[in-house]
Amino acid sequence: MRGTISYESQTGQPPRSALQELSRWRRLWAWWEKNGTPYAFILPFFVLFAVFGVYPLLYALNLSFTSLNGNGDMHYVGLSNYTFLLTDEMFWSSLGNSLFLWLLIVPIQTILAVLVAALLSSPKLRLRWFFRTVFLTPYVVPLVAVAQVWLIMFDRDYGAMNAVLQWLHLTPIGWLTSVAWAKPTLALLVLWKSSGFAVIVMLAAIQGIPQEYYEAASLDGAGKSARFWHITLPLMKRAISFFMVIATLGVIQMFLEPFVLTSGGPDNSTITAGYRLWLFIQNADLGTGAANSFLLMILVIVIALVMLRLMTGREES
């Protein structure tokens, strides 16, 4: 109004509300300068995780409830993809193949890794660096190159393995062309290729055990086997659980090995759960493939929780 004189016009200062707002922003800026640096450093991770992790996961979840065959037309179909998979013989067959490979790989690999790590951690072992290099080298070799070597070694007509069998006057075996031998041959490849990682995990766990425990047990008269069973193994439970969960995830996701060696054959006996996902992508059935991936994710979570529960047990308070 014409006769009204504002506070600013009388004193030359901004209104009280503006001063309060300015003071609040100053306090916020002072807090950020003092405490905000750590958040600034971790902010890029959360941004990248949201863009490349959360968003694709939510998009795939939405995709699993639709019918999308690669032509760009997306139609909502509800739970049809999930009900189809749960009644699909190939879905359960791929899980069965993965389970069989798990039985051939994970228990054997875990036991061998623990024993080898125990031997390599012995201070009396000579040339420890050499043996560690021998076990680690296959892990760093590209998987495709190893698979090509396996193709040559286990070829039915010209492979080195069948050449040895013929030299022993034994019948050649279709290592990669028979249902009975295809999965064991794949399992042997994985055992040879990834055992180096298993040994590293177990060796790190053993080296993290305080030597005082072994010294005290030795003073009490415990031998090497007793120290191994009552000290080493119990204190390696967490490392063993970690490796078995990682190895289980790797077996379920296995794709490159059957893709290069057998192409899922013979008679679909090496179609793993991971290879089955690739078949959905090849057939442009993206909606069903997304549903398959979420069923596998649920399965892996359940298996991991069960394995962790069995291996570590309830934490003592």
In a shared domain, residues 28 and 112: no
| List of the chain residues with pLDDT < 70 | 1-22, 70-72, 123, 125, 312-317
Alpha-carbon distances of 239 from 4, 124, 199, 230, rounded to whole Å: 78, 24, 11, 16
Does a structural domain hold residue 125? yes
| 108 lies in the same domain as 38 | no
The pLDDT value recorded for residue 16 is 59
Beta strand residue intervals within 64-178, DSSP E: 66-67, 75-76
Residue 109, judged by CB atoms within 10 A of its CB (0-12, 13-18, 19+), counts as buried
Q: In angstroms, rounded to a whole number, what is the distance separating the alpha carbons of residues 47 and 63?
A: 23
Largest Cα–Cα distance of the chain, in whole Å? Answer: 118
Asked whether the whole model's pTM tops 0.75, one would answer: yes
Q: Are residues 137 and 229 in the same domain?
A: yes
Residue 2: its pLDDT value, please?
Answer: 47
Phi-psi region of 305 (alpha: psi -120 to 50; beta: other; left: phi over 0): alpha
pLDDT at residue number 118: 86
Q: Tokens for 241, please give them.
A: 């659980």
pLDDT value at position 4?
47
The answer to whether residues 172 and 39 belong to one domain is no
**CA pair distance 280, 294, nearest whole angstrom:** 14
Q: Could you count the other beta carbons within 10 Å of the beta carbon of residue 40?
A: 9
- How far from chain centre, in Å, is Cα 43? 25
Q: Is 288 in the same domain as 186?
A: yes
Could you tell me if residue 115 is inside a domain? Answer: yes
Radius of gyration of the chain (CA): 30
Q: Is residue 155 part of a domain?
A: yes
* Other residues' Cβ atoms within 10 Å of the Cβ of residue 161: 17
| Residue 307 belongs to a domain | yes
Token pair, residue 91, equals 């879905």
Strand partners, 66: 76
Tell me, yes or no, whether 41 and 138 share the same domain. no
Name the domain boundary from 52, 68, 97: 52
- In terms of domains, do 175 and 41 share one? no
Handedness of CA 74, 76, 77, 83 (dihedral sign): positive
Q: Which of 32, 52, 72 is the last residue of a domain?
A: 52
Q: Residues 6 or more apart from 216 whose CB is under 8 A from it?
A: none
CATH of the domain at 303: 1.10.3720.10
Question: Strand, helix or coil at 66?
Answer: strand
Look at residue 196 and tell me if it is in a domain. yes
**Parent domain of 47:** 18-52
* Whether residues 48 and 87 fall in one domain: no
What's the pLDDT score for residue 186?
92
Looking at the fold, whether 106 and 223 belong to one and the same domain comes out as yes
Q: How many CA atoms lie within 13 A of 295 on its CB side?
A: 25
What SS3 state is found at 188? helix
Residues 105/187, Cβ–Cβ less than 8 Å: yes
Write the CA distances from 117 to 76, 220, 295, integer angstroms: 52, 25, 35
Residue 275, classified by CB atoms within 10 Å of its CB into exposed (0-12), middle (13-18) or buried (19+), is buried
Tell me, yes or no, whether 29 and 92 share the same domain: no
Q: How many domains does the chain have?
A: 2
Q: Is residue 271 part of a domain?
A: yes
Cα–Cα distance, 129 to 116 (Å, whole number): 13
Would 59 be classed as within a structural domain?
no
Residues 280 and 157 in one domain: yes
Residue type, 142: P
Query: 37 and 103, same structural domain?
Result: no
Whether residue 138 lies inside any domain: the answer is yes
